[in-house]
Amino acid sequence: MGGFSLWHWLIVGLVILLLFGKGRFSDMMGDVAKGLKSFKKGMTEDEEAAAQEQRRITEARAAEPRPAEPRPAETTVTPAPEADRQ
Protein backbone atom coordinates (compact mmCIF):
# COMPACT_ATOMS: atom_id res chain seq x y z
CA MET A 1 0.00 0.00 0.00
CA GLY A 2 2.82 2.45 0.77
CA GLY A 3 4.70 2.03 -2.52
CA PHE A 4 4.12 3.70 -5.84
CA SER A 5 3.48 1.64 -8.91
CA LEU A 6 4.71 2.30 -12.43
CA TRP A 7 1.45 4.08 -13.27
CA HIS A 8 1.90 6.51 -10.41
CA TRP A 9 5.38 7.45 -11.61
CA LEU A 10 4.19 7.87 -15.20
CA ILE A 11 1.44 10.24 -14.07
CA VAL A 12 3.91 12.24 -11.93
CA GLY A 13 6.28 12.48 -14.90
CA LEU A 14 3.49 13.61 -17.21
CA VAL A 15 2.40 16.32 -14.75
CA ILE A 16 5.99 17.56 -14.44
CA LEU A 17 6.36 17.71 -18.23
CA LEU A 18 3.06 19.59 -18.52
CA LEU A 19 4.08 22.11 -15.86
CA PHE A 20 7.59 22.77 -17.05
CA GLY A 21 7.38 21.83 -20.71
CA LYS A 22 10.08 20.09 -22.68
CA GLY A 23 12.15 23.23 -23.33
CA ARG A 24 12.15 24.49 -19.76
CA PHE A 25 13.07 21.14 -18.28
CA SER A 26 16.01 20.60 -20.64
CA ASP A 27 17.16 24.21 -20.07
CA MET A 28 17.09 23.66 -16.32
CA MET A 29 19.08 20.43 -16.62
CA GLY A 30 21.60 22.22 -18.85
CA ASP A 31 21.97 24.96 -16.24
CA VAL A 32 22.49 22.37 -13.53
CA ALA A 33 25.18 20.68 -15.63
CA LYS A 34 26.92 24.03 -16.24
CA GLY A 35 26.81 24.75 -12.53
CA LEU A 36 28.39 21.39 -11.69
CA LYS A 37 31.15 21.92 -14.28
CA SER A 38 31.83 25.38 -12.91
CA PHE A 39 31.97 24.05 -9.37
CA LYS A 40 34.44 21.29 -10.32
CA LYS A 41 36.59 23.79 -12.21
CA GLY A 42 36.65 26.10 -9.21
CA MET A 43 37.63 23.27 -6.90
CA THR A 44 40.57 22.25 -9.10
CA GLU A 45 41.70 25.89 -9.39
CA ASP A 46 41.62 26.20 -5.58
CA GLU A 47 43.66 23.02 -5.20
CA GLU A 48 46.20 24.24 -7.76
CA ALA A 49 46.46 27.62 -6.04
CA ALA A 50 47.01 25.93 -2.67
CA ALA A 51 49.70 23.67 -4.16
CA GLN A 52 51.46 26.68 -5.71
CA GLU A 53 51.36 28.53 -2.40
CA GLN A 54 52.80 25.51 -0.60
CA ARG A 55 55.61 25.26 -3.18
CA ARG A 56 56.35 28.97 -2.81
CA ILE A 57 56.56 28.67 1.00
CA THR A 58 58.80 25.60 0.74
CA GLU A 59 61.14 27.34 -1.71
CA ALA A 60 61.28 30.46 0.46
CA ARG A 61 62.20 28.39 3.53
CA ALA A 62 64.89 26.53 1.57
CA ALA A 63 66.41 29.83 0.37
CA GLU A 64 66.65 31.30 3.89
CA PRO A 65 70.06 30.90 5.53
CA ARG A 66 69.95 28.67 8.55
CA PRO A 67 71.27 30.14 11.79
CA ALA A 68 74.39 28.56 13.17
CA GLU A 69 73.79 26.13 15.97
CA PRO A 70 74.95 27.46 19.33
CA ARG A 71 77.98 25.77 20.79
CA PRO A 72 77.53 24.21 24.19
CA ALA A 73 79.09 26.29 26.93
CA GLU A 74 82.06 24.81 28.65
CA THR A 75 81.36 24.23 32.31
CA THR A 76 83.68 23.12 35.01
CA VAL A 77 82.49 20.93 37.81
CA THR A 78 84.15 21.28 41.16
CA PRO A 79 83.86 18.36 43.55
CA ALA A 80 82.11 18.94 46.83
CA PRO A 81 84.23 18.93 49.96
CA GLU A 82 84.38 15.66 51.88
CA ALA A 83 82.84 17.17 55.04
CA ASP A 84 79.57 18.01 53.31
CA ARG A 85 79.08 14.45 52.09
CA GLN A 86 77.41 12.05 54.52
Q: State the average pLDDT over residues 62-69.
A: 77
Each domain of the chain, given as residue ranges in start order, spans 22-63
Give the Cα separation of 79 and 63 in Å (integer): 48
Q: Which of 36, 14, 43 is nearest to 28 (CA)?
A: 36
C-alpha separations of 81 from 13, 17, 77, 85 in Å:
102, 104, 12, 7
pLDDT of 80 > 80? The answer is no
pLDDT value for 4: 79
Tell me 29's DSSP state. Answer: H
Q: How far apart are the first and last CA of the chain?
A: 95
pLDDT band with cut points at 50, 70 and 90 for residue 69:
confident
User: How high does pLDDT run on average in the chain?
Assistant: 82
Q: State the average pLDDT over residues 8-37.
A: 85
